[in-house]
Structure formats: C-alpha cells, structure tokens
Amino acid sequence: MSGLTIDADRVGQRIERLAQIGKISDTGVCRLALSPEDREAVEVVRGWMEEAGMTVRLDGFGNLIGRLPGKDPNKPAVMLGSHIDTQPYAGRFDGIIGVIGAIEVVQTLADLGVVPEVPIEVASFCDEEGCRFNKGLFGVRGILGRLEDGELERADKNGVTRREALLAFGGDPERFEESRYELGQVSVFLELHIEQGPVLETLGRPLGIVTGISGPLWWTVDLYGFAGHAGSVPMGLRKDALVGASKIVVGLQALASSEPGAPTVGTVGSMRVFPDSRNIIPEHVQFTIDLRDIDLPRRDRLERQLRELINEVAEEHGLRVEIREDTNSEPRYCAPRIVDTIREAAMEMGLKAPELMSGPFHDSLAMSYYCDYGMIFVRCKDGISHNPKEFSSLEDIALGTELLYRTTLQMCGT
C-alpha cells in the first residue's frame, strides 16, 4: 500500500500474532479478561511497546500502559489505546486494532526520529468486554477512580472472583491508589476500533468518524418461583420462573422495536436456570438485560416500561424478582475539536469519512468523563462482531492507523 507513513505489514503481522493466543478456530479467539491467555497476550504487547521506545508498566488494575516522554514530559499526555481481552466467541479485531494501531503510531515516530511535543501514552486496558465478571470497562474506570463497591468480589461462572483473578494476573488492589490518574495528566484520548456494525460497508467507505457513544444500561435479573414435579403440578398452580423470564425476553424485544427507525437495542444474552432438570419446574432463573440508546429520555422511558413489565409478569406468575443494575451510562459525545481534526486529516488523505454514532460502548466511554475523546471506526464485513466471522481488511485497518497517526500528530502539536 502506497502513500502510508505507517508500516501496514507490521500491523498485519501483529494482528495475526495476537490471533494465535486463545485461538479456538481458524478465525475465532477466546481470550477472557485476566485469564492466562490474556496475560500471555499482555507480555507480547509489552514487547512491542518496548520495541517502540516506550517505558511500560502493568498497573494495579491490570492495565498495560506504555509511555513516550515527548519534548516536555511534564505536559498532559495524549493517550491512545483500546483493549485486547475478548468475548468467549470472538474474532481477531475488536479492541485489538486499537492497541496495535496505537503502538504503530509510536513505532512510526521512532522509525522517523520524530519526538512529539508532549508525552504519548498507549493503553491496553484491562477487561473492557465485561463478559467474565458481568461488568465491563474495569481497567479504564479503575484509573479514573470510578469503580463501584463490590466489584472485586464479583465471581465468574467458575466461582473465581475478580480479586483472585487480578492478583494471579499481576494486578494488585493494594496498588490501586498509586495507579489512579490525577485530573489533567491526559488531555486527549483517541481510540481506533472496528465499527461492529454495517453502516460503513453499506456506504462503501473504509473509515468513519465517531460523533458519540450510546448509553448502555445493564441489569442482572433474578426471578424466584417454586420447584415442583413436572408431571404432577397442574399448570394453573405453578410458579415457573422460566415462563416468567420468557415473557420478559419477548417483552424486551417488543419494547426495543416499538419505535421504527430508532437506534434502540435490547438484548438478553445470558441465562441460567435452576435446578436445570427436564423433570423439575424451574425455580430460579437469572438473566442479563442490555438496553442501549443514544437518546437518553427515550431509554429512560423504555426502562420504566420494562420495570412495569417485569413486575406485572412476576405478579401474574407468583414470582419474586430482584434487579441489580450493573452498568448505567448516559450517551457521551466526542469533542468537536477532535472530530474536526480527524475530518481534516481524512480529507488530506483523500478520504471522505462519514460521521456516525457508536451503539457499542468502548474504553472511550469511560475516558469521556475525564478528558476530550475521539474515535475512528474501521469498516467491518457485514457488520459482524463478537463472532469468529468478524473481519476487517488490512487495507482498511492500515488506513485507519494512518488516520490515527496523523490525528495524533495534530493533537500533540507536532
């Protein structure tokens, strides 16, 4: 590929290298946060950061952070990055291109002998996905002092707590305080990411400029009924928790689809049934709810309707209900000055990059509460993500990395 400052081949080789860690199929990856596979990948990424001339540390939250001092090491840093943990049934690009692309930006500066005016930090944040402990953005929220009570005691499906996994990984709650960022240490956060949706492919554009991120609402819902013999308890006398859960799942689908054309999405992605026997009426069902919208008043209205639905179902079937709020974030918009800078850099590259919202959340969502942020989206085939079929071409990823490089230079005043 001609006209690029960055090394596209190096980017491609590094993507393939990480894809071998936690590999579950030809294109599939499972690299859960704080797992041995995640730790192996961190060591590989550490080597790349050091090769690019950064000093590197693994902080108390499990974040891997590299730093290039710049001409004035005391000025607020420009931070780039994303995450390398994955879903249990994942592809090779989600989060990964943001970390590899960020390292490539610094590596390119080193190759060209360019010293930025201000420090640059590259972050590979711990547990963005949130699938293992049902609470995401752990590492980035950690450095910002935004963790909630009880997060270290959350357990995965095998009963391992986050505290135990973090200590085994190399993090340490005793180092949380020293790992937190003071206000003003970072001035800008930039993240390169695959779109995880079909808009760019539909428009025939390799790159997009993110204008904001939808606000996610995550719940864990527990429904408690009463177990009984599946062959002897009459239908009218049952307290079947799974029947109640099924009605809520269908109701969520209807609510999220109630306004044609709206970007609202609602998902039940995980469910557990107890005692999980074909011959026993389900007594306890636990399931997750994920509700997202860029329009906060609309999401709030749907949340109220969903609570009403859950209570009505529970009353109808004689169930007890508990709702735990795991995540609740408002939509967060990108800084106009960064959007303008990315747009101008794209035009210099001869690219017309559409501007679009992000439905999925990213590490940028947490960083938006701390400093100005901007995101670059890379086209992905059929909009598929969180699936081994997830794919973005090296040509598109290289263009995105080049755009990140040029934007970073502007943000650093270099």
> Does residue 5 surpass a pLDDT of 90?
yes
Could you tell me if residue 2 is inside a domain? no
Helix 36-51 to helix 8-19 angle (10° resolution) is 160
Contact criterion met (CB below 8 Å) for 95 and 33: no
Residue 9 marked in a binding site: no
What's the pLDDT at 294? 86
CATH code of residue 397: 3.40.630.10
- 183 and 226 part of one domain: no
Residues 6+ apart with CB under 8 A from 167: 173
CATH code of residue 251: 3.30.70.360
Helix (H) or strand (E) run with residue 375 in it = strand 372-378
Least confidently predicted of 128-137, 171-180, 216-225, 324-333: 324-333
Least confidently predicted of 68-77, 178-187, 210-219: 210-219
Q: Is 167 exposed, middle or buried (0-12, 13-18, 19+ CB in 10 A)?
A: middle
Provide the Cα torsion 302, 308, 313, 314; round to 10°. Answer: 130
Residue 149 marked in a binding site: no
- 195 and 55 part of one domain: yes
Residue 361 pLDDT class (50, 70, 90 cuts) = confident
- 190 and 206 part of one domain: yes
Residue 139 pLDDT class (50, 70, 90 cuts) = very high
Could you tell me if residue 353 is inside a domain? yes
The count of domains in the chain is: 2
> Does residue 212 surpass a pLDDT of 70?
yes
Residue 129 marked in a binding site: yes
Which residue in 37, 20, 39 sits closest to 28, CA to CA? 20
> Does residue 129 surpass a pLDDT of 80?
yes
CA gap 81, 61 in Å, rounded: 16
3-state secondary structure of 245: helix
Could you tell me if residue 163 is inside a domain? yes
What's the pLDDT at 360? 86
DSSP one-letter code for 161: B
The CB density around residue 137, as the number of other CB atoms within 10 Å, is: 27
- 351 and 315 part of one domain: no
Tokens 């609570």 belong to residue: 307
CA gap 381, 197 in Å, rounded: 9
> Does residue 374 surpass a pLDDT of 80?
yes
Amino acid identity for residue 407 in this structure: T
Mean pLDDT of 121-146: 96
- 161 and 229 part of one domain: no
- 352 and 378 part of one domain: yes
* Cα end-to-end span (Å), the chain: 25
- 351 and 227 part of one domain: no
- 20 and 49 part of one domain: yes
Give Cα 84 to chain centroid, integer Å. Answer: 10
Amino acid identity for residue 189 in this structure: F
Could you tell me if residue 101 is inside a domain? yes
What is the percentage of the chain residues whose pLDDT exceeds 70?
100
> Does residue 373 surpass a pLDDT of 90?
yes
Segment 337-347, tens digit of pLDDT: 999 999 999 99
> Does residue 2 surpass a pLDDT of 70?
no
- 109 and 188 part of one domain: yes
- 209 and 219 part of one domain: no
Host domain of residue 138: 8-214+331-412
Could you tell me if residue 231 is inside a domain? yes
- 71 and 199 part of one domain: yes
What's the pLDDT at 329? 84
Which residue in 295, 376, 366 sits closest to 339, CA to CA? 376
**pTM for the whole thing?**
0.85
Average pLDDT across the chain, whole number? 96
306-312, long-range: CB within 8 Å, 24+ apart, which pairs?
Answer: 306/251, 306/252, 306/255, 309/248, 309/251, 309/252, 309/255, 310/221, 310/248
Q: Which residues pair with 323 in a beta bridge?
A: 221
Could you tell me if residue 30 is inside a domain? yes
Segment 15-64, tens digit of pLDDT: 999 999 999 999 999 999 999 999 999 999 999 999 999 999 999 999 99
CA gap 217, 238 in Å, rounded: 31
Residue 229 marked in a binding site: no
Residue 322 marked in a binding site: no
The CB density around residue 155, as the number of other CB atoms within 10 Å, is: 15
